[in-house]
Structure 1
Amino acid sequence: MTRVDARPGRRARHRRVVPLVAIGLVVGLTVAAVPFLATATPAAARIAAPATEPAGEPGPDPTTTDPTDPGPEPTEAPSTTPPEPTPPAATTEPAPTTTAPEQPAPTTAAPTAGPPPTTPSVPPVRPSAPATTPPAPPAGVSVTTDDITLTAAYWNAPSTVTTLRVTVTNTGVTPARIRLAYTLPAGLTDAGTGGCAPAGGGEHRCGEWASAPGVRFSTLLRVRVDGDAWKRMPLSGSVRVTATAPGVPGSVGDDEGFAVLFPPGPPVPGIRLAADAVSFDIGGGSSGLDVRLGNTGRVDAEGRIEVVLPAGVTVPAPPSGCTTVDPARTRCELGTLAAGRTARLRLPVSATPEAQRQAPLAGAVRAQLDPRSGPARQVQMSFRITAAAALATPVAPPPAPTGSQGVLAAEAQVGDGDGGGGGSVRRTAILLIVVSTLLVVFALTLATTSLRRRMTDPDTGVSPAPTE
């Protein structure tokens, strides 16, 4: 007679394994949920905290003087014109505030009217945070300039008086007082710009404008170019603006360069020279410099081209026939140039980030033809150097947010400025996640081992009856 061996010890062991596995899984899932609770609760608190801060924004005493401008300053600002040259009657009044009604575009309501966060969880809010535009700074200013471009009439005059158009924009959200200063290179002097006075070293300082938020206006600087200034080419200058706003500490500013562009000359028969502008993209890549030298005479001549670049701009790899005289000068021998023919040359150009930020700049090309008979012929001209990095330079650092900026901004404020509290919460959350992961792995390992034993060792078996 046979009996079924129930093996109660083995059944008891299986009963203990199942509760252990269940307990391990429950503990792992509970601990895994703790980091979410630890991070979601502070995030919800951070969402609500900044919303109460912008209610009280006391402003310090307004400052009406600019401490960064020592020495006597002009008492009045230069005359202004609209940015668009269409209205001719805007040059009668020197005050820039006359153009304020034309450009009323204050933007104070847009940045502060953001919708309050309503979702308590972090993941739904994160995708929408990059889509929001940052608020405009309380005080901001930007400046753009044209170039001083001379015509062929320059070669037939002892000096030439021209104008440099400067456009200023109040990019802040509060009224500001704006000052302007400009530096002229050697060979250029101020020709009597109203509201501006020399400060030494080619620098001139002007009076201040009272500008409303969003207002954009222009002014014309009168400049005299000497008749022999072409011998010093390339020539470049710069314009700087600073703005102060009531209740905003310190000042903000912006600057931009301008180029002095001479036409090919002095005029000499039998030679023609042309050079294209050089531009740098946002990545610092250059379009290169294209130069064309034409022999318009009746005899063949040996051609030579010399390129002079401003500081920070170089020819990194001169092509065949060209040599680097110094970091700012490259000379190219073109060989014999037949009468009526034109030689074309392309030079690679590179610039340092600082030089690109100072653009627009000017470079110069000097060309020479040595004919088989007769005197040598020389001519030179300047070309423009622009860079996208100059337009991408931020005008002023973004201010600290004063209102609710969403979950991402709230987390950044708590994590960086509350004495390390946000960092300790993150470290605790990471530690809990690691511990919970280890517990879940242990529970799964225990369950897998138990299942393998059950598969290899059957629960029931037949054993022979004991002999009596």
Structure 2
Amino acid sequence: MARLDHRPGRRSRHPRTASMLAFSLAVGLAVAAAPGLALAGSGNGAIVTAAHRVNPPDGTGTDPAGEPGDETPTPDPTDTGPLPTSPPPTVPETSPPPPVTTVPAPTTTAPPPAPVTTAPTTAAPTTAPPPPPPAPPAAPRPDGPAASPVGVQVTTGDVALSPAYWNARSTVTSLRVTVTNTGRVAEEIRLAYTLPAGVTDAGTKGCAATGGGEYRCGAWTSGPGARFSTTLRVRVSGQAWRQMPLSGSVRVSASAAGGGTVSDNEGFAVLFPPGPPVPGIKLQADEVAFDISGAASNLAVRLGNTGAVDAAGAVEVVLPAGVTVPTPPAGCVMVDPTRTRCDLGSVPAGRTAEVRLPVNATPEAQRDAPLAGAVVGKLDPRSGRARQVQMSFRITAAAALATPPPSEPAPTGSTGVLAAGAAAGDGGGMSSVQRTAVIVVVVSTVLVVLALTLATTSLRRRMTDPGE
């Protein structure tokens, strides 16, 4: 009778090897499919998030609530129809445009030659060699971007109110805007502006409201170097002073065939006179100006006691966003990042107390200048009623007057899509999502190779096994 070869140990290893093989293959295939899913999920999330950022919910431009007892502020008109096709009337400007505020290169002059003290000689004078010809202008780099032929600049005045404002329910005044075609070609120029709470348009021709304090106007056709101005008529509510400081902005965009689109913007301040008028108190605040370096500036505030008795004086300074008092002087405390309160002590009758505060501004705030700040002055005598008055002051910055070099506009798209595209094209680097995808692909490839190696080894063992 033949003897059967029974090898339970070798036969019991085969099912485990097959199970491990199947498990390794399943893991490798699942990990290999993961990068595509991860990329798809991250891309959709970025676009959805960008869509929410680009399209915020309505209601962001509503006026803030005033103090108790204030009359309801005049609501901003909403869009009632298509945008106008004709621009506002303009006046040509003959005066030269304001100079560009940049740091000029230092010029050095050679000192005068020292007088010759030796006796002249009778030899023929030698002729000095002619100076070398000036070097030709450097040619533009072939790999650099070509300068855009389109350019535009806008400058604004301020909405300055006279003391008659305190006797009227509302005041109609004007805002002067000057536009310059700084490009080399004819351009189509459009204007838009934003008015703060309590300020509305008073019927500017060629402009219409788009909601949330925004207004847009028709387009001008302007030749290269042309400079013109237009006047925006605005209405300031009689209760707008309760919400000071108030600032707005004006924006222009210029486009030309084959030249792309460029834009420029500048802010403006709504300046209220000291008031409401109260006898026995006087308040003054100087303008704050930042130079081209952007270094800290100073704000001087003077509170005068024009009454008949001494009074305790105090001032409170309210600054716009991005402007702060980094180190309050003695007697002053920071109530919040935009509000500083100073105790001036006793102010004798007929005297004036002064306080100077250092002021800083972020680069963004300086680019948005002119801006407006507010000062509240208080006098509290030992006997009699306390007196209070407030006013606004102007904040300017030389950085806002510097004209940036024109640049081609970025493609229109959501923030998330543009960010991903910029990261992918930045010097050939990879974004974090791309790096993660590469790592996952490498790991999945290693796992697949390992699974195939195990499968090959198992098959070779089975083929070389003489009992199989």
Q: d(CA) in 2 for partners of 1:292 and 1:313?
A: 20
Deviations 1:245-280 (A, max 9, x none): 01223x110000000001101110000000000000
- Name the structure 1 match of 2:287: 277
Q: d(CA) in 2 for partners of 1:287 and 1:301?
A: 30
Q: d(CA) in 1 for partners of 2:231 and 2:357?
A: 35
Q: Residue 232 of structure 1 aligns to which amino acid in structure 2?
A: Q
- Name the structure 2 match of 1:266: 276
Q: Is the CA contact (8 Å cut-off) linking 1:303 and 1:336 kept in structure 2?
A: yes
Q: Is the CA contact (8 Å cut-off) linking 1:141 and 1:243 kept in structure 2?
A: yes
- Name the structure 1 match of 2:195: 184
Mark the runs of 5 or more structure 2 residues left unpaired by the alignment: 1-78, 98-131, 410-427, 429-468
Aligned length in residues? 296
Q: d(CA) in 1 for partners of 2:147 and 2:400?
A: 20
Q: d(CA) in 2 for partners of 1:184 and 1:330?
A: 26
Q: Residue 315 of structure 1 aligns to which amino acid in structure 2?
A: V
- Name the structure 2 match of 1:143: 154
Q: d(CA) in 1 for partners of 2:161 and 2:270?
A: 8
Quickly say closer, same or farther: Cα 1:125–1:323, change in 2 above 3 A: farther
- Name the structure 2 match of 1:435: none
Q: State the SS of the aligned residue for 1:154.
A: helix
Q: d(CA) in 2 for partners of 1:147 and 1:130?
A: 42
Quickly say closer, same or farther: Cα 1:127–1:351, change in 2 above 3 A: farther
**Cα distance, 1:136 vs. partner?**
6.8
Q: Is the CA contact (8 Å cut-off) linking 1:73 and 1:205 kept in structure 2?
A: yes
- Name the structure 2 match of 1:318: 328
Task: Output the aligned Cα RMSD.
Answer: 3.0
Mark the runs of 5 or more structure 1 residues left unpaired by the alignment: 1-69, 86-101, 104-123, 400-418, 420-468
Q: Report the TM-score, using the length of structure 2 for normalisation.
A: 0.60
Give the alignment of 1:451-462 within 5 angstroms.
none
Q: d(CA) in 1 for partners of 2:339 and 2:317?
A: 6
**Cα distance, 1:128 vs. partner?**
5.5
Matched, 1:194 2:205: yes
Q: State the SS of the aligned residue for 1:355.
A: helix
Q: State the SS of the aligned residue for 2:383.
A: coil
Q: Report the TM-score, using the length of structure 1 for normalisation.
A: 0.60
Quickly say closer, same or farther: Cα 1:188–1:395, change in 2 above 3 A: farther
Q: d(CA) in 2 for partners of 1:218 and 1:135?
A: 30
Quickly say closer, same or farther: Cα 1:137–1:126, change in 2 above 3 A: farther
Give the one of 216, 225, 231 matched to 2:236.
225
Q: Is the CA contact (8 Å cut-off) linking 1:356 and 1:390 kept in structure 2?
A: yes
Quickly say closer, same or farther: Cα 1:228–1:393, change in 2 above 3 A: same
Q: Is the CA contact (8 Å cut-off) linking 1:147 and 1:260 kept in structure 2?
A: yes
Q: d(CA) in 1 for partners of 2:355 and 2:311?
A: 17
Deviations 1:60-90 (A, max 9, x none): xxxxxxxxxx9932111001112369xxxxx
**Cα distance, 1:396 vs. partner?**
1.8
Matched, 1:167 2:178: yes
Q: d(CA) in 1 for partners of 2:147 and 2:92?
A: 24
Q: d(CA) in 2 for partners of 1:182 and 1:358?
A: 13
Deviations 1:166-211 (A, max 9, x none): 0001111111100000000001000000000000110000000011
Q: Is the CA contact (8 Å cut-off) linking 1:357 and 1:389 kept in structure 2?
A: yes
Q: State the SS of the aligned residue for 1:357.
A: helix
Q: Residue 205 of structure 2 aligns to which amino acid in structure 1?
A: G
**Cα distance, 1:125 vs. partner?**
10
Q: Residue 275 of structure 1 aligns to which amino acid in structure 2?
A: A
**Cα distance, 1:386 vs. partner?**
0.4
Q: State the SS of the aligned residue for 2:364.
A: helix
Q: State the SS of the aligned residue for 2:284.
A: strand
Q: Is the CA contact (8 Å cut-off) linking 1:191 and 1:224 kept in structure 2?
A: yes
- Name the structure 1 match of 2:308: 298
Q: d(CA) in 2 for partners of 1:131 and 1:167?
A: 34
Q: d(CA) in 2 for partners of 1:194 and 1:264?
A: 32
Q: Is the CA contact (8 Å cut-off) linking 2:314 and 2:377 kept in structure 1?
A: yes
Give the alignment of 1:99-110 within 5 angstroms.
none
Q: State the SS of the aligned residue for 1:392.
A: coil
Q: State the SS of the aligned residue for 2:308.
A: coil
Q: Residue 295 of structure 2 aligns to which amino acid in structure 1?
A: G
Q: d(CA) in 2 for partners of 1:131 and 1:374?
A: 76
Give the one of 204, 209, 219 matched to 1:208.
219
Higher RCO, Cα 8 Å, sep 6+: 1
Q: State the SS of the aligned residue for 1:318.
A: coil
Stretch of structure 1 that moved more, 386-395 or 221-230: 386-395
Q: Is the CA contact (8 Å cut-off) linking 2:301 and 2:356 kept in structure 1?
A: yes
Q: d(CA) in 2 for partners of 1:125 and 1:144?
A: 41
Q: Which has the higher helix share?
A: 1
Q: d(CA) in 1 for partners of 2:384 and 2:291?
A: 44
Q: Is the CA contact (8 Å cut-off) linking 2:262 and 2:408 kept in structure 1?
A: no
Give the alignment of 1:19-418 within 5 angstroms.
72-83=82-93, 129=137, 137-249=148-260, 251-394=261-404, 396-397=406-407
Q: Residue 381 of structure 2 aligns to which amino acid in structure 1?
A: P
Q: Is the CA contact (8 Å cut-off) linking 2:201 and 2:234 kept in structure 1?
A: yes
Q: State the SS of the aligned residue for 1:311.
A: coil
Q: d(CA) in 2 for partners of 1:84 and 1:137?
A: 26
- Name the structure 1 match of 2:454: none
Quickly say closer, same or farther: Cα 1:125–1:390, change in 2 above 3 A: farther
Q: d(CA) in 1 for partners of 2:93 and 2:336?
A: 41
**Cα distance, 1:395 vs. partner?**
5.3
Quickly say closer, same or farther: Cα 1:321–1:164, change in 2 above 3 A: same
**Cα distance, 1:135 vs. partner?**
9.3
Q: State the SS of the aligned residue for 2:296.
A: coil
Deviations 1:365-411 (A, max 9, x none): 00000011111100000000000111124052289xxxxxxxxxxxx
Q: Residue 159 of structure 1 aligns to which amino acid in structure 2?
A: S
Q: d(CA) in 1 for partners of 2:224 and 2:403?
A: 21
Identity of aligned residues (%): 69
Q: Residue 203 of structure 1 aligns to which amino acid in structure 2?
A: E
Q: State the SS of the aligned residue for 2:400.
A: helix
